[in-house]
């Protein structure tokens, strides 16, 4: 038996038992202590190293638990065969050159995706996370309910009721990692209820293109219908007898920015009610940010909980990396989900659900929303003033994080975008959200969520020369 | 202008400005301060309350940012119209009776899902999370790469190379919130490459039923093939000319526990290589836990990175609530994903990716795996000993967290399960994983991952009387 000359540092921050554990482990990994070598008894090693016996026992227990040594009754501790153990070489991680995706760089980007992250309440978020981690929350690492944790769904249902007039119990809610994922689930529920892989879904043209791609990707038959300033109409729906569901954004149509008036909403509900299995999908993606006038409650809350599937997200209102969305299902659809699809484990980590729940319950969320609304309103008003100054025709105001500008200089949308980009300003064309040919004048979309005020001013000045 | 008699507590933990902010906010919310009321100047209020002017300024700034008050140039601060503000009633969250899903309760459950959570390294996990939260990591709240953060994918690629012989660059990896989600993506990639919503996928019978359900849910045409003790064979694949992909678990077939021998693996690769667009899906769901013999490297690493889609998860090896899985794609499939499907935002929160990355890089993961293997091996050996004592025919040993037992008492599988359940022991039948009629003797499956050793002993003793 070899002497273990373990160089112990009593003044080190590393506990004594850990030093002994690490030393012996490295000796074993380096084959200096070989398989079946007998180790000194805990008593002998403790006395030799002048440490307490329990310190050595702790080190041996650790080595045993990790498979480096084992004990034989009445014989002592022996080095194990470690060829099966995980020895991840933590030093070999490649310091590979980051391959930045080559995208054009613009000084100014009227992006439609960004939100204002300067105002993200990092400190509150950290505080809540720390509180939860230090609490007795070990169950958060065990698998949770497939629909999401009940406490969190309760919090979401109350929030939706109070802020959007959505009429739902927590049992109607499915939490998921983003809208696209929840739309994939929804499409499969439709597939089951309509007993077909090909579901006929009416969508406005132009529309939220991600949703369109998800439905297409799963085999959906998309019926693109034109919109007037109020969105999809009953008359147009009536032309498409095969339609099984209609996807709309009544609070703020993307990208046109239209708000659907009450009369139109009632007509669409009438359409849905005319047939047993007909549904409306209401995507309420950014109605948290309304700057003028009372918010119109969600369509779902208009006595339509049986007919309207409601979907929304925290990615816009909290932060893009908060991949938490919610799907509110009519009871009949939820029944199908529970019977046939509950094998899909929930996609949002429970810790993440808990943090967001606490963030909402402790009022941080309401305060954050109010602060953001105020910030966005300043940018929104600034945009409107600059557009008015330039006598531009704009629409989609009063809600959300983008505006549309109709450019009447006889240039094509393509040309306008191209000229703006040459000036270092990235803007977006309406036609990029078209799912069928569009018949509109040249229109560009300007997102202002992630822009700083100076950037808005600078960007608008550059655009002035482009669209004159 | 009303006097603001704000009851300030200088000894309170709540900062002074926050007390002023809260008081005025409540006055406004309670309509005691009404819209357009002028507030005292910061100087006047500071002097009245005997606090510094900057304290009042901070309170007013907070109220302004959240939309409760606004300032008019040269005039002062006024109460705003707050009818549009979010006022989430944090106290009205319903204390609803928790509806525990009514499932039968068993004293002992040889569950196939559970893992041993008593050994979860809560402290290391918390420590790593705190480190990351206190660091300068604010970018973690901004939307990240759709495939997952590059640093994390690098870490995963090194881990897979070292521990499983998987041959891949970080660029071939997609991170996702669970296997089902990644299989949904994969199915869509197949849909694009085969230009059909109906992909012909061969699966072993019995198989991992979740994967089967996902493929079916998306319209897949599943060809169920019988297995011998070595899994799917070339001869059987040859009978199904229409097959476009084969889903296998060569390291440890679920549920049969078979390990596919090298010869069979080579044959399957040969099959895949015979046609340009033919793929093998290798699900490597629990090969971290192997108790005897050298682990066989992944099929993907056998010069087959062009033909094998590799999928695995951290849910088994770390914790069920860690919804992080990885999909390793052949370059050609990745190209399709990047061209056509990168609109799917990543489903794993970046903070979560960062914590797991750090957990792996700081060696906590390797230590955890070794500890768990040792724990599971004890349970595994105990099960085997008890089965031997009872002279039962078992199979699927040496890997994973479950064993199969063939019961030769002429009772049906149903009957055996029923009798065990009457004795308070929940066990599972092989046929519950059948995707076509099975032609096997009565076989039950016993998971031991989440069981305590006393439970295993007690459970096995009860089963003894059932299957004699």
pLDDT score at B89: 53
- How far is B419 from B415, CA to CA, in rounded Å? 6
Chain A, nearest residue to B80 by Cα: A374
Cβ of A374 within 8 Å of Cβ of B87? The answer is no
Q: How far is CA B239 from CA A117, B199, B223, B279, in A?
A: 57, 17, 11, 16
Q: CB of A228 within 8 A of CB of A256?
A: no
Cβ of A345 within 8 Å of Cβ of B322? The answer is no
User: B48 and chain A: CB distance < 8 Å anywhere?
Assistant: no
Residue in B181, B295, B349 closest to A349 by CB: B349
Residue A208: DSSP 8-state: -
Chain A residues with CB under 8 Å of B191 CB are: 217, 219
User: B132 and chain A: CB distance < 8 Å anywhere?
Assistant: no
User: A331 and chain B: CB distance < 8 Å anywhere?
Assistant: no
Chain B, nearest residue to A25 by Cα: B367
pLDDT score at A89: 53
Q: Say what percent of chain A tops pLDDT 90.
A: 59
pLDDT in tens, A422-456: 999 999 999 999 999 998 889 999 999 999 999 99
Residue B404: DSSP 8-state: E
User: A60 and chain B: CB distance < 8 Å anywhere?
Assistant: no
pLDDT score at A88: 61
Of residues A320 and B127, the one with the higher pLDDT is B127
Range from A65-74, A326-335, A336-345, B40-49 that averages highest in pLDDT: A326-335
Q: How far is CA B272 from CA B189, B306, B307, B378, in A?
A: 17, 10, 7, 39
Q: Which of B177, B435, B199 is closest to B313 using CA atoms?
A: B177
* Burial of B18 (C-beta count, 10 Å sphere; 0-12/13-18/19+): middle
Chain B residues with CB under 8 Å of A212 CB are: none
Looking at chain A from residue 269 to 308, which residues have their Cβ under 8 Å from any Cβ of chain B?
A: 288, 290-291, 294-295
User: A98 and chain B: CB distance < 8 Å anywhere?
Assistant: yes
pLDDT in tens, A167-180: 999 999 999 999 99
Mean pLDDT of A80-99: 57
The strands making up A443-447's β-sheet, listed across from edge to edge, are A393-395, A402-406, A443-447, A428-429
Chain A residues with CB under 8 Å of B343 CB are: 180, 209-210, 213
- What residue has token string 């056509």? B340
Residue A113: DSSP 8-state: S
User: B94 and chain A: CB distance < 8 Å anywhere?
Assistant: yes
Residue in B150, B158, B362 closest to A98 by CB: B150
Cβ of B347 within 8 Å of Cβ of A177? The answer is yes
Mutual angle of helices A364-389 and B53-65, in 10-degree steps: 70
User: B155 and chain A: CB distance < 8 Å anywhere?
Assistant: yes
Chain B, nearest residue to A290 by Cα: B84
φ/ψ (deg, to 5) at A409: -100, 15
Mean pLDDT of A238-256: 95
Cβ of B374 within 8 Å of Cβ of A67? The answer is yes
- Give A100's pLDDT tier (boundaries 50, 70, 90): very low
Cβ of B178 within 8 Å of Cβ of A345? The answer is yes
pLDDT in tens, B167-208: 999 999 999 999 999 999 999 999 999 999 899 999 999 999
Q: Which of A115-119, A214-218, B341-345 has the lowest mean pLDDT?
A: A115-119
Residue in A188, A323, A360 closest to B345 by CB: A323
Q: Which of B161, B144, B147 is closest to A94 using CA atoms?
A: B161
Cβ of B363 within 8 Å of Cβ of A141? The answer is no
Using the predicted structure, report yes or no on whether residue A101 has a pLDDT greater than 50.
Answer: no
CA-based nearest distance A466→chain B, Å: 30
CB pairs under 8 A between A and B: 247
- How far is A351 from A137, CA to CA, in rounded Å? 9
pLDDT score at B3: 67
- How far is A151 from A159, CA to CA, in rounded Å? 12
- Interface confidence, given as ipTM, is 0.83
| Residue B355: Cβ within 10 Å count | 25
Cβ of B141 within 8 Å of Cβ of A117? The answer is yes
User: A362 and chain B: CB distance < 8 Å anywhere?
Assistant: yes
Residue in A90, A217, A349 closest to B352 by CB: A349
- What residue has token string 């200088």? B10
pLDDT in tens, A356-413: 999 999 989 988 988 898 899 999 999 999 999 999 999 988 889 999 999 988 889 9
- Structure tokens of B18? 């926050």
pTM of the model: 0.85
- How far is B374 from B288, CA to CA, in rounded Å? 12
Cβ of A319 within 8 Å of Cβ of B142? The answer is yes
CA-based nearest distance B136→chain A, Å: 11
* Burial of A270 (C-beta count, 10 Å sphere; 0-12/13-18/19+): exposed
User: A120 and chain B: CB distance < 8 Å anywhere?
Assistant: yes
Three-state DSSP state, A233: coil
- Structure tokens of A39? 């180790």
pLDDT values of chain B reduced to their tens digit, one per residue, 468 residues: 456 788 888 888 888 888 999 889 888 888 888 889 999 999 999 998 899 999 999 899 888 888 889 889 888 999 988 776 766 654 444 434 344 444 557 789 999 887 888 888 888 999 999 899 887 778 888 888 999 999 999 999 999 998 888 999 999 999 999 999 999 999 999 999 999 989 999 999 999 999 999 999 999 999 999 988 888 999 999 999 999 999 999 999 999 998 898 889 999 999 999 999 999 999 998 878 888 877 778 999 988 999 999 999 998 888 888 899 999 999 999 999 999 998 899 999 999 999 999 999 998 998 899 889 889 999 999 999 999 999 999 998 888 999 999 998 888 999 999 999 999 999 999 999 999 999 888 999 999 999 999 999 999 999 998 877
User: A143 and chain B: CB distance < 8 Å anywhere?
Assistant: yes
User: B218 and chain A: CB distance < 8 Å anywhere?
Assistant: yes
Chain B, nearest residue to A100 by Cα: B150
- Structure tokens of B14? 């709540």
């Amino acid at each position: 038996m070899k002497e273990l000359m373990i160089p112990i540092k009593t003044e080190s921050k590393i506990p004594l038992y850990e030093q002994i554990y690490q030393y012996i482990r490295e000796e074993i990994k380096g084959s200096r202590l070989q398989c079946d070598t007998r180790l000194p008894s805990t008593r002998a090693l403790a006395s030799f190293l002048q440490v307490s016996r329990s310190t050595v026992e702790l080190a041996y227990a650790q080595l045993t638990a990790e498979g480096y040594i084992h004990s034989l009754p009445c014989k002592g501790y022996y080095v194990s065969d470690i060829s099966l153990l995980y020895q991840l070489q933590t030093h070999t991680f490649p310091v590979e050159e980051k391959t930045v995706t080559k995208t054009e760089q613009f000084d100014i980007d009227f992006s439609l995706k960004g939100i204002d992250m300067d105002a993200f309440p990092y400190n509150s978020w950290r505080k809540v996370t720390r509180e939860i981690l230090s609490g007795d929350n070990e169950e958060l690492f065990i698998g949770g309910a497939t629909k999401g944790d009940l406490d969190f769904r309760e919090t979401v249902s109350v929030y939706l009721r109070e802020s959007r007039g959505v009429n739902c119990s927590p049992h109607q809610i499915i939490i998921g990692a983003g809208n696209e994922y929840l739309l994939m689930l929804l499409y499969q529920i439709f597939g089951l209820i309509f007993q077909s892989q090909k579901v006929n879904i009416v969508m406005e043209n132009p529309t939220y293109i991600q949703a369109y791609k998800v439905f297409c990707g799963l085999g959906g038959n998309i019926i693109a219908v034109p919109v007037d300033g109020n969105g999809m109409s009953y008359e147009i729906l009536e032309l498409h007898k095969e339609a099984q569901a209609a996807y709309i954004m009544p609070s703020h149509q993307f990208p046109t920015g239209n708000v659907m008036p009450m009369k139109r909403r009632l007509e669409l509900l009438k359409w849905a009610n005319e047939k047993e299995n007909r549904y409306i999908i209401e995507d309420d993606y950014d109605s948290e940010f309304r700057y003028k006038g009372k918010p119109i409650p969600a369509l779902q809350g208009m006595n339509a909980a049986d007919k309207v599937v409601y979907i929304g997200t925290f990615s816009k209102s909290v932060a893009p990396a908060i991949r938490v969305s919610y799907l509110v299902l009519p009871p009949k659809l939820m029944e199908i989900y529970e019977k046939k699809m509950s094998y899909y484990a929930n996609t949002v980590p429970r810790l993440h659900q808990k943090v967001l729940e606490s963030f909402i319950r402790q009022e941080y969320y309401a305060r954050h929303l109010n602060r953001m609304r105020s910030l966005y309103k300043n940018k929104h008003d600034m945009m409107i003033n600059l557009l008015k100054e330039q006598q531009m025709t704009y629409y989609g105001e009063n809600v959300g994080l983008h505006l549309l500008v109709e450019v009447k200089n006889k240039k094509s949308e393509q040309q306008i975008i191209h000229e703006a980009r040459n000036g270092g300003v990235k803007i977006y064309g309406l036609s990029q959200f078209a799912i069928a040919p569009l018949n509109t004048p040249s229109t560009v979309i300007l997102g202002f969520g992630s822009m700083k005020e100076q950037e808005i001013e600078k960007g608008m000045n550059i655009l002035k020369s482009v669209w004159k």
